[in-house]
Structures are given as structure tokens and as C-alpha cells.
Chains A and B, each alone.
Chain A
């Protein structure tokens, strides 16, 4: 029986570039270690199982260049393994401490296995290179990996078209280097779209992007199929819109699956619960923080928490996967009656939701893929790229300026907590475009120019403005923004003076070592003529009658 519709699950894996060789320990590097252990390794394990068991799986995943670069960085790999050793050490102590506590001892055993398995899988099963591990699953057809911006810059708030182009160009080039193919899809950071972005996407060969619901729904003219089919911008780039129903079931803090009371409580961590001196050797600062070892379930909105029970949680994950699938079946059955083609339900999520924020998330995903494969015939998994291959004729519209940030536009990244950065980012981008016109007379100048370009890209990470707005680690975000502004300005001055401080250049290159092959000329003015746009519209005069 032919499927009536499709489900495209898109996992966006991203972390900002955080690497501090100048420090012995960095609290912010912990973001990477947690994500590897709790999200990326579990995802790889389920892909591995799907491959071995020949479970039909078609998922879509973005891996940003900043995350990918960190995953392949030798210093960070060594530090990650050091972190795992500490966690295993802590787990051994926990096994000892909870030996006579029957409600917690099995959990201590679970964590011990969790961390020892992480080390084995990281080193042996996936050979220490998770990017290539994901690439292998792409080559085997389980996942379509899509590209993203160089440093996750928020494109709608870049006033220089060349800055937009550089973010996309560097991101697409990194993708080609890693995955040995041209990117088909592209993850717009924060699903942020503004007019003009499509031109850069098209120039770099991108065939589709994903926006939030209203990015497509508010298109002009009105999309005939709402978000259940892609729309085309007149330059040829397709836009897929996020489905609201499938989003809510997973993302909603109040109604979504992750909030179920039997799931593990993220906030009850032994880093806060146990004696300070006991946990201090395993913390990354003098302040209490998360270790990753958590013994309680959410239990309820208030009141005492009950011990976590993995078996019950796993059954719940299976139940939720079945529920999600059931809802998608009903959704597709309804949509298929009103559409003259199969609907596609696009369900994008941050990858780190699965496993890090929602511990049972990878299990849910595992169950979901299996259930879709064997328990029903109404829906099939697909990637947006494959859907475009099936349906190459689509409605031409102008999508709406939009993002998936709170309230749907740009205000998360532009409010009184972070508006100050844009003056500096704008001037940096403008000056980098000017610097890019220099023909470097020697290798040192070329390196300095590329280092300057790298500073611009790093300053543009949307993560800093986001962190400032959410008020979590504001000092660090401000520090990073200022650092890159300062480094850029000093490099610029030295370039203009024709006198490069080699020691400074080498320090900057070694500390901010992503994109080692970056060519500063990517900031040169793009060569795109206005004539191209609307050309398709020149061919026909459109008449419609109602």
C-alpha cells in the first residue's frame, strides 16, 4: 500500500565554537562534552542499530561547522576523554555510595554503563570522529545531512549582503570538505529568513531551506497547501515550513512529551544535591553545576520528587512514539483528502533536545522510526530533498521574513540586552568587505586577512546575542563578542599599517583555529546582477479567475 503522506524529521545539531587552549578547564567546553555523551553518541547508536537491523530510516540532520570543527579538534577530543574519565571515576564513587540504596543503586549502575560505553563507542566504534561517523550513515542512506552557516550567524540582522554571503559560502564549503558532496539543503540559523538571503543560497547551490510555520504560511501569494508542501522562491530555492502540531507535541514545555512526569528530571542533579566537597572535583567551576548524573523523575509540578525508573520511562517513550505516529497518521489522512499530492509534515528540532534536555529523546526517536517502518502504512519518513525530487513543480511565492525565535521574528536577537553588538558587527562586516579587496602581497598578510575574516565570523555567532537575551551566561557571551571585535580591530590596524605582529597572529590562529583554509576573499563583493531576479516572471503574464 502506497503511503498517503510523508514525515520529515529534521535534527539541527549546533554548538557555538568554544575552545580555550589557554585555560586548563573551561566551563563552556562542558556544553560539548555533554552533547557528545547525551545526544550525538546516542543518535549514532540508533543509526547503527537501524543499519544492522535494516530498519528503513530517512532522517535529516544539520551539523554546523562550529560543532563539526569542535568534534574534530584534537585538543577538545583529548579533553572530552579526560572528562569521561572523571565521570567514570564519579560513577564508581556513586556505585560505592549508593550500594545500600536500592532505589538509587541501579541508577548508579546505569550511569556507570552510560559513561563507560560512551568512551568505548567514541574511541572504537566511531573512531573518535563523530562527523565522519554521521557522514558514513549519510553514505549508507539513513540520513541526509544538510549544511548551515559558518558560525550560525543570524542572517536577518546582517545589513551587509556580503556578510550574509560569506556565512553561507564558508558553511557550504565546510560541508563539501567534510561530506564530499554539494549540500542540497541548508539550515538557516534560528530559521531566520529575510529578503535577499535566497540569492546567496542560490549562488551557492542550495536547493532548500526550512523556515518556521509563518515563513511559508504568510508567503505572498498565499500557499495553496499551507506548510504541507514546499514553496519556491522565484530564484529557485524551495522553502519548507515547520508543522505546528508535530512541533507542539515535542517542544511544548507544558504539553510536550518531555515534560511527562515519569521522565528524568533535568534539574535534580547530584551536582546540586550532594555534599559540595564530594562533587567539587567533578565540577568545572567553584560553583555548583550539572554533572549529568540525575536520580529523580519529574514526578509532578510541585512536591517531592520520586526516584527515576528507566524501565517505566522507556515504556513511556514507546507510548509517546506511538502516540506521535498515530497523530501524524491522522494528520496525513486528513490532509491527503484535501491535497492533490502527498502532504509532507516537516518536524524540525534542535538535536540536543534528544538526550540532553530530554534524556529519553533518543529512545523515543528509535521507537518512532521502528513503529513507522512496521506498525502502519499511512506515512513514510522522507527528507525534504527527496520530497523535492518527487515534486519538482511547486508554487512560486515570496516567503515571509521570519524566524523560529520567540514571537517569530528577530526580537530575541535584538532587544535592549544585545542591541549594542550590531553597531560593531556592522562596522566589522563593512571593513572586512573593504579589506577583502586587498591582494595579499605575501603569506603573512594573507594569513592576517584570513584571521580577521575568522574574527568577523566568530563575532557574528547568533549564540552570543541569544545568551545575552536569555540571561544565562551573559558574561561569557559579552566576553566573546568583545574579544572578537578587539582581535579584528587589531588585525585590521596591523594590516593597514603593513606591520603584522607575528606572535599575535600565531596566537589568534591557534586559539581560533576553525576553518584553517579560510580564504578572506570570501568577503569580496558578490557578483550578482539584479537582472536575474524576476526573470522567470518576465516569461509569463499571469491571469487567474475565481
Chain B
């Protein structure tokens, strides 16, 4: 029976780009461009663009790695542990960078004992019921990971709206801290004015944004943390 089986394909004739975490610092990426998309490359240079961050609007470009084949695999170095990463396969031409494929979003190991000491306590039942009560018929995406299909960038909507309407929201966070103190938002230091005031703006998309804000006293000994939790839903 084995002789009648089709051989294991070398290529699948489909487009895909997949990222897999190997360890704290290495990401394994493999890809294939379908024949019809290879034409889109033209004379351009193909790259793997490594992004750090979860939301597209907040993602930082960490590296561009030139690739020469429309089919292959590569290990990419990840400088920072405990982060979301995503890879794009794009074509660079003289005018612009054109994304062709996006990989799934991955999260890497923290790699060390956390220096965050804030504790929240909850009961198993409380969390289980609260989470179960929110199950609805929707996408498969995990709350931490949004898996992007490699076709999403090219998919054309079949729905043609009669009126164009775009709404964006921004969140403004502002506060005051003891002059000389450091303030960290989501672990990253932010600018604090001389008198101790600070403000920052965040693009707010659908979903929940958790913003741990930690102040560290000038002597480095005392800390205080508050965690605003903001949700946006669109109906």
C-alpha cells in the first residue's frame, strides 16, 4: 500500500509563512510563495521583516533579512525575551516595501524570574466562571495571540459599504509622581517632567488594554503600581 501513496511534497503550491519559537532568542521561520504570488516579487528584493509587538500599530521593526528564495526556512535572532514577535515576507523595491505574507504572532519565554512583584489573587471558580461566561461564537484567536492568515493582506472584502466611516480612538493617560521618580508603563520607562507630571497617548483598538504603571522612588527602594484596565467594544 505504501507504494501507492503520493510522495511527500517538497512544495505545496500555496502561500504561507510560519513562525515557531525555538527558545528565548531564536525563531524558526519557514515560508512558501504560491506561483501566482512569485510574480508579485518582480525585480524587487525579498525580505523577512521581524516585528516586535502585538498590535500592528505598536509593532517595531527589529530586523530585515534578505532572502533569495520563494521557498525556504531561516532562523532569526530575537534580542528581547518575553515579547510578541511576528514576521512579514515583503518585497522591497525602489519606492516602497510591499508586504506579501504575515506569519502567526508568537510570544517568547520570559527567560528569568520577573521583577514584577505585584500580586493579584483569585479563586479558581471565580476566574473559570467569568471566563466561561464570555464565550461567544467568534474567532479562534487566543487573547494573547492573533493568528493572522497569510492571505489576510490580499483578501478583498466582498461587502461594499454605502457610506465610508472610519472611527479611531486614542487613550490619554496622565498623572503625577514624586519629582525624581521613574515611571514605567508596561515595563518601559517613560518621560517624566521635572515637576513629576507625565502623560502619554495610546491608540485604542477593540479589546482590552492592560497598562501596568509602576513608579519607582528616587532612592529606588519604594515602588507603587496601579493597573488601569481599559476595554473598547465596537457594535
Residues of A at the B interface (CB closer than 8 Å) are 22, 156-157, 159-162, 165, 194-196, 199, 202-203, 207, 214, 217-222, 224, 232-236, 238, 388, 392-396, 400-402, 407-411, 414-415, 419, 422-424, 426-427, 430, 482-483, 485-487, 489-490, 493, 504, 507, 525-546
Q: Point out the residues of chain A lying under 8 angstroms from B144, CB to CB.
A: 195-196, 533
Query: A423 contacts B30, CB within 8 Å?
Result: yes
Shortest 9 CB-CB contacts between residues of A and residues of B? A533-B143, A532-B134, A196-B142, A236-B127, A236-B128, A486-B5, A409-B23, A221-B116, A529-B138
Give the residues in chain B near A422, CB-CB below 8 Å.
18, 20, 28, 30
B109 touches A409 (CB 8 A): yes
Complex CA gap A392/B113 in Å reads 24
Residues of A within 8 A of B122 (CB): 232, 234, 393-394, 396, 536
Interchain CB contact under 8 A, B110 and A546: no
Contact call B16/A427, Cβ cutoff below 8 A: yes
- Within B114-133, the residues touching A (CB, 8 Å) are 114-133
Interface stretch of the complex, out of B38-46, B60-68, B158-166, B227-235: B227-235
Tell whether, in the assembled complex, residue B120 and residue A540 are in contact, meaning their CB atoms are under 8 Å apart.
Answer: yes
Q: Which of B19, B110, B124, B130 contacts A535 (CB 8 A)?
A: B130
Determine whether the beta carbon of B124 is less than 8 Å from that of A232: yes
User: Is B141 an interface position by the 8 A CB rule?
Assistant: yes
Chain B contacts for A525, CB-based, 8 A = 139-140
Q: At the interface, yes or no: B178 with Cβ under 8 Å from chain A?
A: no
Whether a CB of chain A sits under 8 angstroms from the CB of B59 is no
Could you tell me the distance between the alpha carbons of A218 and B138 in the complex, rounded to whole angstroms?
A: 32
Does B176 touch A at the CB level, under 8 Å?
A: no
B contact residues, range: 35 or more
Contact (Cβ within 8 A) A537 B107: no
Residue from B24, B115, B121, B140 within 8 A of A409 (CB atoms): B24
**9 A-B pairs whose Cβ atoms sit less than 8 Å apart in the complex:** A222-B113, A236-B129, A396-B127, A401-B21, A401-B108, A490-B6, A541-B227, A542-B118, A546-B117
For A415, list chain B residues within 8 Å (CB). 22
A530 to B126, CA, bound (A): 18
Q: Write the nearest CB–CB distance from A50 to chain B, whole angstroms.
A: 29
Q: Does B218 contact A (CB under 8 A)?
A: no
Nearest Cβ on chain B to A350's Cβ, whole angstroms: 22
List the interface of chain B (C-beta within 8 A of A). 1-2, 4-9, 12, 14, 16, 18-24, 26, 28, 30, 32, 73, 82, 104, 106-145, 147, 207-208, 210, 222-229, 231, 233
Q: Are B119 and A218 in contact (CB under 8 A)?
A: no
| Assembly CA distance A483 to B3 (angstroms) | 11
Beta-carbon contact of A196 and B131 below 8 Å: no
Residues of chain A within 8 A of B145, CB atoms compared: 161, 195-196
B219 to chain A, nearest CB (A): 12
A234 to chain B, nearest CB (A): 6
A222 CA to B23 CA, complexed, in Å: 20
Residues in B with CB closer than 8 Å to A157 are: 20-21
CB closest residue in chain B, given A430: B16
List of A residues within 8 angstroms of B140 by Cβ: 161-162, 165, 525-528
Q: Apart from A232-B122, A545-B224, what are 14 other A-B pairs with CB-CB below 8 Å?
A: A159-B104, A221-B118, A222-B117, A235-B131, A236-B129, A394-B123, A401-B109, A414-B28, A423-B73, A426-B30, A489-B8, A529-B135, A530-B138, A542-B225
Kindly list chain B residues whose C-beta atoms are within 8 Å of the C-beta of A533. Answer: 131, 134, 142-144, 208
| Cβ contact within 8 Å between B134 and A531 | yes
- Among candidates B20, B147, B210, residue contacting A534 with C-beta atoms closer than 8 Å: B210
Contact of A537 among B112, B116, B208 (CB under 8 A): B208
CA distance A309 to B205 in the complex (A): 70
Contact B19 A410 (CB under 8 A): no
Report if A545-B131 is in contact (Cβ < 8 Å); known contacts: A195-B145, A236-B124, A409-B24: no
Distance between Cα atoms of A542 and B19 in the complex (Å): 34
Question: A221-B119, A396-B121, A489-B9 are known contacts. Are A541 and B22 too (CB-CB below 8 A)?
Answer: no
Tell me, in angstroms, the Cα distance from A194 to B84 when the chains sit together: 12
Residue of A nearest to B112 (CB): A218
A161 touches B118 (CB 8 A): no
Question: By the criterion CB–CB under 8 Å, are A388 and B30 in contact?
Answer: no
The answer on a CB contact under 8 Å between A410 and B21 is yes
Whether A542 pairs with B142 at a CB distance below 8 angstroms is no
- Give CA–CA (A207, B73) in the complex, Å: 38
In angstroms, how far is the closest chain A Cβ from the Cβ of B93? Answer: 28
Q: Which residues of A contact B143 (CB under 8 A)?
A: 199, 530, 532-534
Chain B residues with Cβ below 8 Å from A218 are 109-114
Q: Which residues of B contact A396 (CB under 8 A)?
A: 120-122, 127
**Cβ-defined partner of A160 (8 Å) among B114, B116, B129, B147:** B147
Known: A234-B127, A409-B21. A543 touches B121 (CB 8 A): no
Tell me whether B125 and A401 are in contact (CB under 8 A). Answer: no
Q: How far is the CA of A203 from the CA of B134 in the complex (A)?
A: 11
Q: How far is the CA of A404 from the CA of B211 in the complex (A)?
A: 32
A543 touches B224 (CB 8 A): yes
Complex contact A486–B141 (CB within 8 A): no
CA distance A233 to B116 in the complex (A): 16
CB proximity of B32 to chain A, nearest CB, Å: 8
Q: What are the residues of chain B within 8 A of A426 when measuring CB–CB?
A: 16, 18, 30
Given A194-B107, A401-B107, A530-B138, CB of A541 within 8 Å of CB of B229: yes
Q: CA A234 – CA B144 in complex, angstroms?
A: 12
